[in-house]
Amino acid sequence: MNDPEKRSQQADRLIRDYAFGSSLTGFIPVPLVDTLSLIGVQRYMLFRLSRLYKVPFKKNIAKIALTTMTSGLTASAARPMVGSMLKLIPGVGSVLGGASMAVLGSAATYAVGKVFQQHFENGGTLEDFDPQQARQQFETELEKGKEIAKKEKAQRN
């Protein structure tokens, strides 16, 4: 696509769709399977963003970039694992863990998408992506994503 504005709008829509899809992984009742599913959704979103921006996609580089950016960098990025572990508590744990994973999974996917959208719009590729440098933007976008996810959840209820 040659029109940068239309491409950006398409990327925004794609990110919103995958963020919503990520929220559904929170309701997978098996701990850690939900987290692995979330990573899969994020990786496929990154594949679609790469195609949209005509950036070569390399699965192993994408996996490393996503893992490095979202794993263990901050307490906020690690919270989906806590939500997943809550599911180990019979009954109420599944409900609390599912709701927690839904919001945080959606927010994390939104943040990942926005970070890569900006990177690709600035002419970046997967090869030159620096997860450490993207840390602050990821945190900022994660907070925005949480607010968006909470508003959408409230609208559905």
Contacts of 56 (CB under 8 A, 6+ apart): 50, 125, 126
Whole-structure pTM value: 0.79
Q: Which among 153, 83, 68 is positioned nearest to 115, based on CA atoms?
A: 68
The 10s digit of each residue's pLDDT in 107-133 is 989 999 999 999 999 999 999 999 888
pLDDT in tens, 30-61: 667 777 788 889 999 999 999 999 999 999 99
